[in-house]
A = this chain, B = another copy of it.
Amino acid sequence: MTLIVFFRHGKAEPKMPGVDDRERRLTEEGAADVECAARLLRGRGVVRILTSPYRRAIQTAEILARTLDLEYSVVEWLAPDSGISVEDLPRLGVGDGYVLVGHNPWMEDTVTELAGGFLELKAGGFAVVEVESFKAGGGKLLSLVNPGVISICQR
C-alpha cells in the first residue's frame, strides 16, 4: 500500500505589488493551521517531506519537519506550473510515506485525478491518498483534513 500525503501550504500574505510571489510568507494563522494539521500525521508512517521552493511552502515544510521529527528536501517540480503529472511521480522518487508540500490548483487537481470526485483542498489542509497506480483513477482517498471545516486543534 502506497500512502501519499498531499499537503497544501498554509494561508499566506496577500499578493502585493513589488513582492515576488515566491517570497510570500505564511501568516501567523497559516502557521498555526499547519502545526495543528501536522500533528495529525504523527506516528502515521511519514518518511520523507518534499516541498516547493516557494517561501510559503518551505515554511510549511519546516513546521511539518519539526512536528514529525524529519528533514525536508526542496524540489523545483513542486513549484506552481512545473507541468508535472501524476504519471511522473514514481520517476521523481515519490513513494510510500511521502508528504508533498505544494500549491493549488496542482494539489487539488492531482488528488482529484487520482481519487476522482469533487473536493476542496484548503490552505493548510492535506489529503491522504492510497495509491494503487500513479494514473487517473489509480487512488483512493483515505482522509481529507481542511482547517476551518473541523476543529483540528483544541485552541
A147 to B146, CA, bound (A): 16
A128 to B44, CA, bound (A): 22
Stoichiometry, as copies per complex, reads 2
A142 to B128, CA, bound (A): 14
Contact A119 B117 (CB under 8 A): yes
Contact B119 A150 (CB under 8 A): no
Is A107 on the interface with B (CB-CB < 8 A)? no
Mask, A87-111, CB within 8 Å of B = 1, is 0000000000000000000000000
Using Cβ atoms and an 8 Å threshold, which residues of chain B touch A42? 151
Which chain B residue has the least Cβ–Cβ distance from A146?
A: B143
Beyond A118-B140, A142-B146, 20 extra complex contacts between A and B, CB < 8 Å: A39-B154, A40-B150, A42-B151, A44-B151, A112-B117, A115-B117, A115-B119, A116-B116, A116-B118, A117-B118, A117-B119, A118-B137, A119-B141, A120-B141, A120-B142, A128-B149, A141-B144, A143-B144, A144-B144, A145-B150
